[in-house]
Structure 1
Amino acid sequence: MNNRIRREDLKDKIMSAEDAALLIKDGMTMATSGFTPSGYPKAVPLALAKRAEGGEKIEITVMCGASVGDELDGSLSKAGVMTRRYPYQTNESIRNAINQGNIYYQDMHLSHVSQYMDYGFFGKIDVALVEALAITEEGCIIPTTSVGLTPQAIKNADMVIVEINTSQPLELEGIHDIYMTEKPPHRKPIPIIRPGDRIGTTFMPCAPEKIAAIVVTDITDKVRPLGPIDEPSRKISGHIIDFLKHEVKMGRLPQNLLPLQSGVGSVANAVLGGLVHSDFENLTCYTEVIQDSMLDLIDAGKITIASSTALTPSEEGLKRLYENMSHYAKYCILRPMEISNNPEVIRRLGVIAMNTAIEVDIYGHVNSTNIMGSRMMNGIGGSGDFTRNAYFSIFTTVSTAKNGDISSIVPKVSHVDHTEHDVTVIVTEQGLADLRKTSPRERARKIIQNCAHPSYRDMLMDYLKEAEKGKFKHQPHSIKEALSWHARFLETGSMKVWKKNQDIGSSLNKKKLALSNT
């Protein structure tokens, strides 16, 4: 343990997870490490949940960098401990509790969270619960597989509980680059000119007297599985690669592109995976998460550096990462999300942003958070940080959902996360729509013709043509018709069923009209 806890007097703070959990009281606000289930505390949250399951009343506010594993989000939401949550999540239990109104949740741009914490917008941070690789001789904390909001949590919390996780390999030491900004008007430019620039320390500052407890654990990150690269995802990736090749040919991109950002999940992983077999070389990444495809690109010699705030592979990818950590650490940098998602840096580097959508409307507005407008899925995460400030902002989605029963291209999205002003390119397995230089009506035709599934193109064109009959022509809508699009799916379970019924009804009306005229 000497190589993990390097300050001798702190060894007196070692205790069980159960004893450490007793330091967390009802009504507290707790900020934790973790970002897209990696590097999050596990033993203490499980012990905290057991207290509540035993009948003790304990309700707290929880803040994490992004989503975390079931040991934290799942156990605390199921036990009723978590009553308020910021700023992003993916756990089924917490999602259900949010949608049932049992957990108050604010979906936030990730780049805003650290500043909100520094300014006290969340109120007092009572405790920072942090997974660590090691504690230095000075009492500073070395993170594990993610950084997220952890530096700000330590800085602002009244006390710090540290989980030393011995399952995390010591080869992670040195991969981190911890840099924090000042408050305006004293804030300085962030001195990152290239994705590989290191500007900070390999540890997070922490006053030793703040550390109230140290828990030793070996519970591994419970990372999410990634789906196989299916045919629709492969087609989406192919359309993007063709688009990037065209931009290079036109002189709008260098041969090695600009730094790449990709969101989380199977489709995002597949999009990057397509680059493994492309002609592109010497790529760089400035992103939020490093998933399996990023490791594939490193192994293929395609990437020179990948800057992120978390290592988030699949279970198979995590094993591969741990077995070759010394190799991958040469190519990866983990930064606080205040820096990985910072608009200033994203704009300066000219990042190519690639994120996923739930639905897209014909004018280019994107819904990436709320199914049918009301049911929270995960959250906006960092997609807004990158989308608004990117050189290109690309959104991907398969053209249909529910086995083809609903179109992902709609007249009007049921919830807006990214407006038409910020979205450059829409891609589905059907094709790609480059929205640059387009007026709304031109944009609509491009999206319908290039991205919508053939089963829904006629319906969407019918809607557009009908809307264009109205008085105002710039971005025409038939509001009643647009809003009823989603309602029809809820009524029938299928837009195709509704369309079939409409066609039958239209045919019968025509026959009745013909009979009445004879």
Structure 2
Amino acid sequence: MSAAVKEYQSKLVSPEKAVSGVKSGDWIGYSYAANTLPVLDRALAARTPELYDIQLLGGVTMRPHAFVKADPKGEHFNWNCTHFSAIDRKYYDMGRAYYIPLKYSEVPRYVLENVRMDIAMIQVSPMDKHGFFNLGPTISHYWANARKAKVIIVEVNEDMPIAHGGYGHYLHVSDVDYIVEGGHTGMPQVPSEDPGEIDHQIANYVLENIRDGDCLQLGIGTMPNALGQLIAKSDLKDLGVHTEMLVDSFVDLVEAGRISGRKKQVDPGRIVYTFAAGTQKLYDFIDDNPQVAGYPVDYVNERDIASRNDNLVSINNALEIDLSGQVCSETIGPRMISGAGGQLDFVDAAYHSKGGRSFICMASTYTDAKGKMHSRINPLLTTGAVVTDTRPVVQYIVTEYGIVNLKGQTTWQRAERLISLAHPDFREDLIREAQALNIWRRSNKEI
């Protein structure tokens, strides 16, 4: 029996034993994205009556948490969230979730310098013969969590893929305080929604601006999925990948022969990411695949690293933009929808890349629950909306009505260009509002 196996057995405990040391007032690094904690979560939820003011830190929830059901009024547990999924939005609407404003590239530093963390709970793969637990699809800021926490508890998932990486994608048994065997708990499945006609229209405008050898960063959503479909059917070649989030679309691009990574200056030949979420197809692709490299987010999203790749192309979604070019990708008014994530990181990195381009994409309108259509391009941001990307950093904006470049443009040029991307039903009102704001004159009209 090896020393690693002996140490493993000495630290192996029941879920109940692992969470028995949690005390009221503790701050706990919890589940993030595809690395969920179904076994530890149930064990912690069972202690609800005796615990108060437990602060849980996590985000991008992909499985409902047992602690929420056990504590419907939020009297015992508080969910502090770095990025909202659909489940997190439900928690928020219940008054159970609070957002942590951030630049994703800075999260490891936040953890080490600004965040209290008494316990880190991390889902991992089974230990290998060298005593290492792999972090599978979620590297992100887990290494920082492990360095900061006073106690580290790992939950072993027999179904977790083994992810290759650069660094920070594993924990050694000697670093761990308690081990819980979760068995076969599967991986959360996040199928992509089918893109609609508008998604394809927007994607076609972006596709016209992608060249052989470009290095791609795609966000999540129907439009990036539509773009992935179009690229897979195109004759583009030798594309690279340096992306925050790895999704199913990248697997399709590899299988279509569009991705080689040969032209990358950083990690040539490798698909670089910090966390992955999708269907089983994606997890199977990651598993023991040396082409794929997971790194901590302060490597992947760091501008000076990402921008060393020439022709870095960043493609992300937005919820609203005002006529000065301020982009909101997080809220509708004051209501949290998503989060900043790494959008600003990659908008900035792409522009600083030699030949790089940054695209912010959105449908020109949305329809509310009452069936009323609203413009996403507005004179001013809706009251309560937050600015994700400040106006100087924004480059290309794309809607189903076209694509414009805002770099180096005056306020009146920005207003004209953005109004040209608005739904025709809203353009005259936008012109009148722009005139009232003194950022547009009829003699300048190009629409």
State which drifts further: 415-424 or 135-144. Answer: 135-144
Instruction: Tell me which of 85, 89, 110 is aligned to 2:80.
Output: 85
Aligned to 2:360: 395
Aligned to 1:122: 115
Instruction: Tell me which of 276, 279, 282 is aligned to 1:321.
Output: 282
Aligned to 2:323: 362
Q: Deviations over 1:329-373 (max 9, x none)?
A: 24321111121211221232253211110111122110111112x
Aligned to 2:201: 235
Higher-Rg member (1/2): 1
Asked whether 1:456 is paired with 2:417, we answer no
> How far apart in 1 are the matches of 2:129 and 2:118?
25
CA gap of 1:270–1:404, structure 2 versus 1, over 3 A, is farther
Asked whether 1:308 is paired with 2:265, we answer no
> How far apart in 2 are the matches of 1:216 and 1:244?
44
Q: Deviations over 1:272-316 (max 9, x none)?
A: 332112232111111111111111101001112321012211xxx
Asked whether 1:18 is paired with 2:20, we answer no
> How far apart in 1 are the matches of 2:71 and 2:251?
33
Letter in 1 for 2:202: I
Aligned to 2:267: none
SS of 1:135 mapped into structure 2: coil
SS of 2:363 mapped into structure 1: coil
Aligned to 1:49: 45
SS of 2:37 mapped into structure 1: coil
CA gap of 1:74–1:7, structure 2 versus 1, over 3 A, is same
Structure 2 spans left out of the alignment, 5+ residues: 261-269, 352-356
Aligned to 2:436: 466
TM superposition shift of 1:243: 2.7
Asked whether 1:40 is paired with 2:18, we answer no
> How far apart in 2 are the matches of 1:355 and 1:147?
21
Aligned to 1:420: 391
Aligned to 2:56: 62
State which drifts further: 83-92 or 233-242. Answer: 83-92
Q: Deviations over 1:48-101 (max 9, x none)?
A: 12322xx33333222236545323786587473432514222243x43554565
> How far apart in 2 are the matches of 1:77 and 1:420?
42
CA gap of 1:404–1:103, structure 2 versus 1, over 3 A, is closer
Instruction: Tell me which of 351, 374, 391 is aligned to 1:406.
Output: 374
Q: How many residues align?
A: 421
TM superposition shift of 1:44: 0.5
Q: Which has the higher helix share?
A: 1
Aligned to 2:171: 204
State which drifts further: 390-399 or 328-337. Answer: 328-337
> How far apart in 1 are the matches of 2:426 and 2:70?
42
TM-score, normalised on structure 1? 0.74
CA gap of 1:270–1:470, structure 2 versus 1, over 3 A, is closer
CA contact (8 A) 1:66 1:148 kept: no
Aligned to 1:446: 417
Letter in 2 for 1:145: P
> How far apart in 2 are the matches of 1:65 and 1:337?
14
CA gap of 1:325–1:376, structure 2 versus 1, over 3 A, is closer
CA contact (8 A) 1:306 1:333 kept: yes
Aligned to 1:213: 179
Q: How does 1:373-384 map to 2 (within 5 A)?
A: 374-384=334-344
Aligned to 2:28: 30
TM superposition shift of 1:376: 0.9
Aligned to 1:353: 314
TM superposition shift of 1:236: 0.8
Aligned to 1:297: 253
State which drifts further: 436-445 or 344-353. Answer: 344-353
> How far apart in 2 are the matches of 1:78 and 1:260?
42
Asked whether 1:176 is paired with 2:165, we answer yes
TM superposition shift of 1:445: 0.7
> How far apart in 1 are the matches of 2:205 and 2:413?
20
Letter in 2 for 1:290: L
TM superposition shift of 1:404: 6.1
Backbone CA RMSD of aligned residues: 2.9
SS of 2:223 mapped into structure 1: helix
Structure 1 spans left out of the alignment, 5+ residues: 180-201, 246-254, 475-518
SS of 2:65 mapped into structure 1: helix
State which drifts further: 74-83 or 394-403. Answer: 74-83
Asked whether 1:287 is paired with 2:243, we answer yes
> How far apart in 1 are the matches of 2:406 and 2:59?
32
Asked whether 1:339 is paired with 2:289, we answer no
Asked whether 1:272 is paired with 2:228, we answer yes
CA contact (8 A) 1:273 1:294 kept: no
> How far apart in 1 are the matches of 2:348 and 2:66?
31
Letter in 2 for 1:343: R
Aligned to 2:407: 436
CA gap of 1:63–1:14, structure 2 versus 1, over 3 A, is same
CA gap of 1:264–1:445, structure 2 versus 1, over 3 A, is same
CA gap of 1:205–1:421, structure 2 versus 1, over 3 A, is farther
CA contact (8 A) 2:286 2:292 kept: no
CA contact (8 A) 1:45 1:76 kept: no
SS of 2:180 mapped into structure 1: strand
Letter in 2 for 1:405: M
> How far apart in 1 are the matches of 2:249 and 2:68?
27
SS of 1:281 mapped into structure 2: coil
